[in-house]
A and B are shown apart, each in its own frame.
Chain A
């Protein structure tokens, strides 16, 4: 169990929560490979499989941040190797614009990151998660709902307490 207080005092007893959107064809399989190969990496990532990073609606990222994530990691196939030819290029553009927009709203751009790993690159997947965890750990918790407990009624209410962490 890593003590994240050494990175930022505000962590207290909890660890960072990173939501990962991994594409079905490359990065999710890289994560599988990392698991079957017993590569260790921080238990900070909650991964969600999407068919392609091109399917990633910026709404998903914003929702994750709003509802308690400290960071979002989007991973797909290497540029030029998308299963659907150009989905990852769209993700590259969307994430770039999303990061600029979020930084104006006070969300550090490092909290939303993009990475690539092929199905054979379990080690790149684990290295990316390690790197991102360290960056988020240094930034401290995001705690968006402290900021924003009165947001849109069209969404389910925000959790009363911070999400529990392993």
Chain B
């Protein structure tokens, strides 16, 4: 057992779905267990950080790292596992591009703490207690890892060999990666394991010449099951999202959310979405354009749903002006069709 290559899996700021996704490779997992010595995975195995610290540098063959980096602990573990691993893989959307934890970059630490511990409608906290990084108690000082203002992706804190996007990554790509490692046929560093076309190329829906005159939210219309969702006015990020998932969401009447991130060669997926989506608006004057765009609330949320932490602007502006946070509040308009109320 001792001379088998070592495999580690770690979660930083993530939901745990990536660990489950690894099990989706089904019986292939037996080959993985056969080939690798599975040494570290806090989700399912009881090994400790000290066990990793005791290893030689570079002793782990492959580490699959999921989760974004947002606390001091996340960073320490990323640095530790980088040092101990020959191949570090940013596994899943959080590690690759920030994903849902990265949406915290629309706010800052103070706003988040206030909402989560004080202002959320379900919270009762009359004394206004929020977590501290250190506190003195009778037994000594207790510490929590520092919580950051800005969520980062794995490759923003340590060098990364491969990227496996997706929320969570699809089993076939996990398999492809694991097989490449087992066969000793590693792609060049920096490779994104996936395809280099967009979700539209995998989508079975029929596309026509696009002209959008109104954006609908999924609850507002019942979409035609065979026609392109975007043609029907439902927001779909498939036009600027890397393929690899087999167009899972559009196949079940839900527009692509964009979890596979920007396509090959694209730096900022949100900018490409703006470009593609805006060009098919059916309007030729500022007033008409505004009227259509009013039906798309929270555009930044749509365009940077998964990629904010890895986008070019990375986060909202922190600077304050006249005591106000700079970022504009999302104006949520009541959009329920009155006819639907009955």
A residues in contact (CB < 8 Å) with B: 57-59, 61-63, 65-66, 79, 89-90, 92-94, 96-98, 100-108, 140, 142-144, 146-148, 150-155
Contacts and interface: CB of A to CB of B under 8 A. Distances in A.
B156 A107 contact: no
A107 B293 contact: no
Contacts of B283: 93
Given A58-B275, A62-B312, A144-B317, A97 B156 contact: no
A29 B286 CA distance: 25
A66 B313 contact: yes
Describe B's contact surface by its main secondary structure: mixed
B43 interface: no
**A-B interface, 10 closest residue pairs, ranked by CB to CB distance from nearest:** A106-B317, A106-B326, A104-B300, A93-B278, A106-B327, A58-B271, A97-B278, A94-B278, A59-B271, A103-B328
Given A90-B278, A94-B275, A94-B278, A105 B289 contact: no
B110 to A, nearest CB: 15
B150 A150 contact: yes
B303 interface: yes
19 contacts: A59-B312, A61-B271, A62-B311, A66-B313, A90-B278, A92-B289, A94-B279, A96-B286, A97-B299, A101-B274, A104-B316, A105-B106, A105-B300, A105-B316, A107-B326, A146-B319, A150-B150, A151-B156, A151-B314
Contact of B312 (A98, A104, A150, A152): A152
Contact of A57 (B271, B290, B327): B271
Nearest to A151: B314
B250 interface: no
Task: Name the residue among A89, A100, A105 with the largest chain B CB count within 10 angstroms.
Answer: A105
B281 interface: yes
Contacts of A150: 150, 152, 156, 314
A94 B283 CA distance: 12
Interface residues of B, number: 44
Interface string B273-315: 0110111010111100110010000111101000000111111
Interface of B: 106, 150, 152, 155-156, 267-268, 270-272, 274-275, 277-279, 281, 283-286, 289-290, 293, 298-301, 303, 310-319, 321, 325-328, 330
Contacts of B313: 62, 65-66, 105, 107, 144, 148, 151
Nearest to B294: A100
Task: Name the residue among A106, A140, A146 with the largest chain B CB count within 10 angstroms.
Answer: A106
A155 B300 contact: no
Contacts of B319: 106, 143, 146-147
A142 B318 CA distance: 11
Given A59-B272, A104-B327, A90 B286 contact: no
B156 A90 contact: no
A108 B317 CA distance: 10
B292 to A, nearest CB: 9
Contacts of A92: 284, 286, 289
A57 B274 CA distance: 9
A103 B156 CA distance: 25
Contacts of B277: 97
A56 to B, nearest CB: 9
A141 to B, nearest CB: 9
B299 A62 contact: no
A101 B299 contact: yes
Contact of A152 (B106, B267, B270): B267
Contacts of A106: 316-319, 325-328
Contacts of A148: 313-315
A79 B106 CA distance: 35
Contacts of B152: 150
Nearest to A103: B328
A57 B317 contact: no
